[in-house]
Chains A and B, each alone.
Chain A
Amino acid sequence: MSNQCFSRDELMVVAASRALANDDVCFVGIGPPSAACNLARLCHAPDITLIYESGTIGTAPDVLPLSIGDGELCETALSTVSVVEMFRYWLQGGRITVGFLGAAQIDRFGNINTTVIGDYEKPRVRLPGGGGAPEIASFCHRVFITMKQSKRGFVEKIDFFTSFGHGTGGDHRTRQGLRTRGPALLVSDLAVWATDPESKQFRIESIHPGVTKEELEATVTWKVEYAPGASETPPPTKFELEVLRDFYARTAEAQTRLANRSIDA
């Protein structure tokens, strides 16, 4: 790792951004997905349509928003619609090609928990809940997920099905009446995972530079499978890193400017 000039967090965002195409219409989840989606827009996918659940369609923020409804999102959007319209027409209506989500817990079939750790009635940790995710996972044509790997997060069995991925695998999604493809990609700080076309289980597509198989497998509670020809994730290009770091720097600068106003006053 010592000769690498990028962090694993940076590679996670870069690798996630590469999954998006210029003609995608992407429903952006809160947190890490937002950085990846905007990096795609600033690098290789300038015409991508980014949609946030606050109702902003075709937004192009100059700084990374803290929430899904910062003013920056509305001011740079093509249009802002009501939240009812967003969920009814645009999401349920099937207009969105990719949903990009984060998660607290995930299993190998891309089922996501962001609701509780422990029992629902007597939770050990009460998490925020589903928000838009349950229907984003159902109605976007495909679902991408990005989150850091840990034994607590990458679990054999999630405590609560907040958002249905591939259930128990195979054709479970179709049997539920879902016509969309569901989770297709999982980008972590250690690897890129893609869904096996038959079993619908996540398999390693590529391992990030400097990560060993031992380290990778030690952060997952399920048995890790490798796609035929699994390779090494290409490192970030100089351009990708520059754009990402500029984006973060602009964001930090904007936050400092506001904080200083608060102190000056």
Chain B
Amino acid sequence: MSKPITGSKIRPLEDAVSENLETGCSAAFEGFTHLIPFAAAHEAIRQNAQDLTLYRMTPDVIYDQLIGAGAVSKLVFSYAGNPGVGLLHRFRDAVENGWPRELEIEEHSHAALAHMYEAGASGLPFAAFRGYIGADLKRVNPSIKSIECPFTGESFSAVPAVQLDVAFIHAQRADREGNVLLEGIVGVQKEAVLAAKRAVVTVEEVVDDLNAHPNACVLPSWVLSAVSCVPGGAHPSYALGYYPRDNGTYLEWARISADRDSFKSWINDNILQSTPSEFGIRVSKFASES
């Protein structure tokens, strides 16, 4: 079977977001500490995304911003902290006080959510795994069920597949056809893209040749909806080979997000009044550190 003729998938980020993210859809902005698609999430906030059901294993600062901006009605997650720093204040304010809106949560463990992404990518309705033994999440989350092994009779936990309308990820490079290469900590991004109807990738640069080794994590352009070149688009997370994690900004987020007013003022100055090209400026000072 020949691959479909795609034409160029390379699009400006503004168009890639407006063409693929709709009110009320299910989406994931994935990236496990590394390659987190901050530029795409900020564009979603600028475009006033609403009523999203968001998935993410580690809804750290990026989802704290989306939740605080009022874009999210439901969150499916497995660890909601600012890694190494502490709690997420906007997430807490939504869960504890319903600000700026009520937030429904569906909580899992990492192992479960990783399996759920894999099931979604595999076209299966659920995943079975040996998890949640003695854990209270099984008691409070009705989407965690049990299933008996047809061979041994042993009981396993069953969790529903992640099925997304759209996945957003960030990667190091794309070639001119829009094939994408991810290197380093690759998290669940391949699974998220393959579990989604549409996928948008921001990249550090577009090159003539990916120079990928045979086992590299490459996503062919024909599974992607759009590729946008946004240098620095993962800041304050990092892109291996381009710039390091800006830990200072993660530490600073604890202060900015601690109250509603300082959060709103930060969002206004750094997202609403900003553009994707600002990301390149933010990381330029770190570039030689990686």
| Complex CA distance for A96 and B165, rounded to whole angstroms | 36
Quick one: CB contact mask for B105-134 with A, threshold 8 Å, 1 for yes?
A: 001011100110110000000000111111
Q: A88 and B115: CB pair below 8 A?
A: yes
Q: Is A230 among interface residues, defined by CB-CB distance under 8 A?
A: no
Query: Cβ of A138: which chain B residues have Cβ within 8 Å of it?
Result: 130-131, 133-134
Give min CB distance, A84 to chain B, whole Å: 5
Query: Cβ of A120: which chain B residues have Cβ within 8 Å of it?
Result: 136, 140
Query: Cβ of B91: which chain A residues have Cβ within 8 Å of it?
Result: 126
Query: Cβ of B80: which chain A residues have Cβ within 8 Å of it?
Result: 126, 128-129
Would you list which residues of chain B between 211 and 225 have a CB under 8 Å from chain A? Answer: 217
Q: Is A226 among interface residues, defined by CB-CB distance under 8 A?
A: no
Residue total for B at the interface (Cβ-Cβ under 8 A) = 60
Q: B83 and A82: CB pair below 8 A?
A: no
Q: Is B85 among interface residues, defined by CB-CB distance under 8 A?
A: yes
In the A-B complex, the 6 residue pairs with the closest CB atoms: A69-B33, A164-B134, A128-B81, A265-B285, A131-B79, A67-B83
Give min CB distance, A152 to chain B, whole Å: 15
Give min CB distance, A53 to chain B, whole Å: 6
Q: A66 and B285: CB pair below 8 A?
A: no
Q: Is A13 among interface residues, defined by CB-CB distance under 8 A?
A: no
Query: Cβ of A56: which chain B residues have Cβ within 8 Å of it?
Result: 185
Would you list which residues of chain B between 171 and 191 have a CB under 8 Å from chain A? Answer: 184-188, 190-191
A70/B245 contact (C-beta < 8 A), A87-B114, A130-B110, A134-B111 known: yes
Q: Is B92 among interface residues, defined by CB-CB distance under 8 A?
A: yes
Q: Is A49 among interface residues, defined by CB-CB distance under 8 A?
A: no
Residue of A55, A134, A163 with highest tally of chain B CB at under 10 A: A134
Q: A258 and B110: CB pair below 8 A?
A: no
Query: Cβ of A134: which chain B residues have Cβ within 8 Å of it?
Result: 109, 111, 131-133, 135, 137
Would you list which residues of chain A between 114 and 128 have a CB under 8 Å from chain B? Answer: 115, 120-121, 123-128
Q: A67 and B84: CB pair below 8 A?
A: yes
Give min CB distance, A63 to chain B, whole Å: 11
A258/B111 contact (C-beta < 8 A), A83-B57, A135-B131 known: no
Residue of B nearest to A178 (CB): B133
Would you list which residues of chain A between 19 and 73 have a CB under 8 Å from chain B? Answer: 30-31, 53-56, 65-71, 73
A131/B247 contact (C-beta < 8 A), A82-B187, A262-B285 known: no
Residue of B nearest to A56 (CB): B185
Would you list which residues of chain B between 263 and 290 have a CB under 8 Å from chain A? Answer: 284-286, 289-290
A69/B110 contact (C-beta < 8 A), A75-B240, A80-B186, A264-B285 known: no
Give min CB distance, B287 to chain A, whole Å: 10
Q: B184 and A74: CB pair below 8 A?
A: yes
Query: Cβ of A139: which chain B residues have Cβ within 8 Å of it?
Result: 130
Q: Is B254 among interface residues, defined by CB-CB distance under 8 A?
A: no
Q: Is A177 among interface residues, defined by CB-CB distance under 8 A?
A: yes
Q: A84 and B109: CB pair below 8 A?
A: no
Quick one: CB contact mask for A76-92 with B, threshold 8 Å, 1 for yes?
A: 00001011101110011
- From A55, A127, A177, contact of B87 by CB (8 A): A127
| Complex CA distance for A193 and B114, rounded to whole angstroms | 33
Q: A255 and B248: CB pair below 8 A?
A: yes
Would you list which residues of chain A between 87 and 106 have a CB under 8 Å from chain B? Answer: 87-88, 91-92
